[in-house]
Structure 1
Amino acid sequence: MTSGARSGLGWALRLSAAAAAGAAFALALFVGLYIAAFPPAPGLSYREALLYDAPGPRLIVEAGSGSLYGLDVAALGRSLNRVGIIVADNGGFNLQHKAWRLLAHARPGDAVVMPLEWTFYEQPDALTDTYVMLGVPLYPSYFRSIPLREKLRILAATPLSSAVPALWANLGARLPGRDRPRRQLALDRFAELVALGSEGRQEPQWIPERSLRPEAARQSCAEYLFSLRVPNRPPPDREGLRRVLSILAQARARGVSVVFVPPVVAGDDCYARAAGLAPRLAEIRAILAERGFDYLGAPTDFWLPQSRALDTYYHVDAEARALATARLLPLLQAAGLRAPGPPGGRISEVLAGYARRNGLPPPALPPEVGAATTD
C-alpha cells in the first residue's frame, strides 16, 4: 500500500470516528433533553394528584380500568378508617412501572390493594403501544418514578417521529406561563370532583353502553381474560412478576401494606373451566408467597353474570360494583388493613398540594367539603 493510500485510509477512519462520536453526542444530547424536559408530575389527572397529595392513611387501589368500575374505593376506605383513592388506569400498562410508582409515592401506613387483571400476571413487564404512546405522556408520574434504565427502554420503544415532536412540545411547555392555563383548568376540575365528594374514583365523563366492544364480543369471557385467542401468545413471564414483587417488597419494608385480590369480572364462562384456572392461580399464589405476599379471596367470588357487564368483561355496572365491594371488605378487614383511627386530613388537601406544586392559588371550598369520614 502506498503512502498516499495509507494516508487516505487514515483520513477516512478519522472521519468515520468523528462522525460516530458526533452521532453519539447528538444521541446523548437528545436523550438528556428528552428526560430533562419531560412534564412534571402530577400531570392533568385527578388520580395522579390523589397519589401525590391525598391525606393518609390511605387505601390505594392499583390495577387496570376494571377497578374504576368494579370497586367503590371511597366506601372501602371509609370502612377501613382510611382515605380510599384509586390510581388504576389501563390493563395494558406496565406492571413493573406501576410498582416503581408505588415505591416512590406510597407512604408508611398506606395500604395498597391490587385487583390486577390477569394479563398483568402473564406479561408484567410488557411495553405495549398503548402504554408507550398513550399512558406515558398522559400520566407523567410513571416516567418520573422509574429508574434511568427504564426511561431508556421507553425512549427506545418510542418512534422517532413521535419522540421529536414530543420533545419540542415539552420544551415549549417549559416556557414561563405556557403550561399554566392547562394546569389551572385541571385544578378547577379537581375542585369540582372534591366538592362532589369524590375521594378516590374519578368518575368517567361517560358510562359505557351495556354492549360489548367488538374485540370483546368476538371472544368468550374466558378467552378475553386469558388472551386465549391471541396468536403467538408468549409464555408467562414469571421472572418479570418476581421483579415486580421485589420492588413492592421495598415498599413493604417502608411500612406500606400490599395485598393482591381477584379482579371483578362479568360474563357467562369467565371461570367455567375451573381445571384451567386452578393451576394458573396456584402458580401465581406460590410466586406471591415466595416474597411474602397474599392473594386474598377466590376469583369465582368476584365473577358476576353477563347481565352486569358493560363494554368489556372487566367493566361492570353499579350493582355489580356494590356487590363486589361488599365481598372484598371483610377480606381486607381480616388481612388487618383497618387503620386504628380515622384519617388525619381532608381530601381537599389534594387541591392545596397541586396548587403549591404549580404556583397556582388553591380554590376556595366550604370548610366541611372533603372531610375524611368513617363509617
Structure 2
Amino acid sequence: MNLFRKFVFSSIVSAVVIAAIYFYAFNYQFGAPIEASYDVKNWIEFKEEMARRVEGPRVLLVGDSNVLFGMDSSRVEGLVGIPVINMGLHGGLPLDRILNVALETARSGDVVVLPLVWNYYINDYSDPEDWMIDQIIAWDREYFDGLSMFRKLQYAKAISAENIYRNIIIKFNSEAVIKLNPLRRQISKEEMMTVYNEKSTSNPYFLYSYINFNGRGDMRNTCGVLVPVTSATYSIKDKLNDKSVGLLVNVVKVLRAKGVAVFIAAPVQIDDEFTRGEPYQSFLAKTWKQLGDHGLPLAGSPTDFFFPKQSFFNTPFHLNCESNGDRADRLGKLLLSVMPAAGEKLSAASSKN
C-alpha cells in the first residue's frame, strides 16, 4: 500500500471513529437532567388522560398557552352539549408537537378546535429553537425519534459541541444534579396523577403547573392582572409560512379521514390602538384569507376574541379568570354556528353514553 492509499485509508478510519464517538455522545445526552420545563411533560400526559376518560364524542381545544389560560371548558360544554377538554399547552412547543397531540388524542366523532396564535402560521415550525432543544434533551426524546432524518439532522446541527459536553457531564452526574434540583426528576404518569389527586384541590394560588389545572385541563387561579401587558409583542408578516401551513393542511386531512371535524378559530388578542390600527387589521385580514385559500376550515373572524388589556393575566396571550366566561360564551356560540348539523349529531351521540 503506497503512502497516498495509507493516508486515504487512515482518513476514512479516523472519520468513522470520530462519527461513531459523536453519535454515541449525541445519544448519551438524552435524558440528562438539564434545566428545562419538565412539567410540560406532565401537562401533556394529564390532558391526554383526561381526554381518554371521556366516552363518546368530545370537543378538543388544541393549541398553545392562549388556549390553556382564560378558558372555561365546562361552560363551553354547556353550550355545545358535549364534553370539552382543554388540550392547550406551552407556547414554546413547535407546531408539529402541538398537532401531534391532536393526532394522537382525537377519534372519530370528535371536534378539534385550533385557536393558535398567529406566530404558528407565519413562522417556520421546523426551525430548531433553543428552548425546544432543551426539552428534547431533557424529557421529550419520543418527539425527536418521530422526526424525519432531515429534521433530526437539523436539531443535531443546532446543538453545539459545548452543549453536548455539558449535557453529558450533567447526565453522568444525574443523581447529584437531581438531588440539588428535585423538580428535574421525571415522574411516571401514575405518580403524576397521584400527586394531582392529592394537591390540586388544596392549591388556592396560581402555579404554572399541572396541579393548577381543573379536571377539564383549564388553568385555574388566574384572577386579576399579575403583569401589565402590551400588544407590541405581536408579530406581523405579509405571508404565511409555506411549511407550517402545509403541515396544518396535511394534519387537517388526516383528522378528517379519521372522522374528526376540525375548525380553526382566532386566538385571544389585546383590543387596543395598535390592534385596531390599519397595519395590524390588514395583517389579520390577509392571514385569515390566506388560511381560507389553502382550504383550511375557518370559524368566525380573526377579531372574534379581542379583549381589553385588563382582561389579561400575565402575558398578551393569557386571559385572566374574570374573562373566562366571556370567552367561553363566544367560543360556544361560534362552534354552534359553524357546526349546527354536526353539533346535533354529536349531541345525540353524547346523550346515548
TM-score (normalizing by structure 1): 0.70
* Aligned mates of 1:141, 1:344 — CA distance in 2: 37
Would you say 1:51 and 2:57 are equivalent positions?
A: no
Q: What whole-Å deviation, never above 9, does each CA across 1:237-290 have from its counterpart, x for those lacking one?
A: 234312322133212211122111111123422521145423543343333442
Asked whether the equivalents of residues 60 and 87 of structure 1 are also in contact (C-alpha less than 8 Å), the reply is: yes
Residue in structure 2 matched with residue 182 of structure 1 by the alignment:
187
Tell me how far 1:225 sits from its aligned partner: 1.7
Residue in structure 2 matched with residue 230 of structure 1 by the alignment:
none
Closer/same/farther in 2, CA of residues 118 and 145 from structure 1, 3 Å limit = same
Q: Tell me the secondary structure at the aligned position of residue 21 of structure 2.
A: helix
Would you say 1:322 and 2:325 are equivalent positions?
A: yes
Unpaired segments ≥5 residues, structure 2? 176-183, 203-212
Tell me how far 1:62 sits from its aligned partner: 1.8
Q: What whole-Å deviation, never above 9, does each CA across 1:80-131 have from its counterpart, x for those lacking one?
A: 3433222222333211332234223322222211111121111141432222
Map 1:124-163 onto structure 2 (within 5 A): 124-125=124-125, 126-134=127-135, 137=138, 142-143=143-144, 146-163=147-164
* Aligned mates of 1:308, 1:207 — CA distance in 2: 9
Q: Tell me the secondary structure at the aligned position of residue 13 of structure 1.
A: helix
Divergent runs of 4+, >6 A: 170-173, 193-197, 205-208
Closer/same/farther in 2, CA of residues 44 and 282 from structure 1, 3 Å limit = closer
Calculate the aligned-residue CA RMSD, in Å: 3.9
Tell me how far 1:19 sits from its aligned partner: 0.8
Would you say 1:302 and 2:308 are equivalent positions?
A: no
Asked whether the equivalents of residues 265 and 313 of structure 1 are also in contact (C-alpha less than 8 Å), the reply is: yes
* Aligned mates of 1:238, 1:248 — CA distance in 2: 15
Closer/same/farther in 2, CA of residues 30 and 310 from structure 1, 3 Å limit = same
Residue in structure 2 matched with residue 84 of structure 1 by the alignment:
84
* Aligned mates of 1:73, 1:289 — CA distance in 2: 30
Letter in 1 for 2:197: A
Q: Tell me the secondary structure at the aligned position of residue 187 of structure 2.
A: helix
Residue in structure 2 matched with residue 350 of structure 1 by the alignment:
none
Q: Tell me the secondary structure at the aligned position of residue 74 of structure 1.
A: helix
Residue in structure 2 matched with residue 357 of structure 1 by the alignment:
none
Letter in 1 for 2:195: R
Closer/same/farther in 2, CA of residues 236 and 82 from structure 1, 3 Å limit = same
Map 1:155-304 onto structure 2 (within 5 A): 155-163=156-164, 169=171, 182-183=187-188, 184-192=190-198, 198-203=214-219, 209-212=225-228, 220-221=230-231, 223-226=232-235, 236-274=240-278, 276-278=280-282, 280-291=284-295, 293-304=296-307
Unpaired segments ≥5 residues, structure 1? 1-5, 174-178, 228-232, 346-375
Q: Tell me the secondary structure at the aligned position of residue 96 of structure 1.
A: helix
Match of 2:9 among 5, 8, 14: 14
Letter in 2 for 1:252: R
Closer/same/farther in 2, CA of residues 144 and 9 from structure 1, 3 Å limit = closer
Tell me how far 1:17 sits from its aligned partner: 0.6
Closer/same/farther in 2, CA of residues 328 and 188 from structure 1, 3 Å limit = same
Closer/same/farther in 2, CA of residues 205 and 144 from structure 1, 3 Å limit = farther
Asked whether the equivalents of residues 65 and 91 of structure 1 are also in contact (C-alpha less than 8 Å), the reply is: yes
Closer/same/farther in 2, CA of residues 319 and 245 from structure 1, 3 Å limit = same
* Aligned mates of 2:257, 2:139 — CA distance in 1: 30
Q: What whole-Å deviation, never above 9, does each CA across 1:317-358 have from its counterpart, x for those lacking one?
A: 22222111101111111222532333788xxxxxxxxxxxxx
Tell me how far 1:63 sits from its aligned partner: 1.8
Q: What whole-Å deviation, never above 9, does each CA across 1:131-188 have from its counterpart, x for those lacking one?
A: 2224774566644654454344334333444446657749979xxxxx9983354121
Letter in 2 for 1:153: Q
Tell me how far 1:78 sits from its aligned partner: 4.6
Asked whether the equivalents of residues 84 and 200 of structure 1 are also in contact (C-alpha less than 8 Å), the reply is: yes
Count of residue pairs brought into register by the alignment: 320
Residue in structure 2 matched with residue 70 of structure 1 by the alignment:
70
Tell me how far 1:312 sits from its aligned partner: 1.8
Asked whether the equivalents of residues 60 and 85 of structure 1 are also in contact (C-alpha less than 8 Å), the reply is: yes
Tell me how far 1:15 sits from its aligned partner: 0.9
Q: Tell me the secondary structure at the aligned position of residue 70 of structure 1.
A: coil
Letter in 2 for 1:9: F
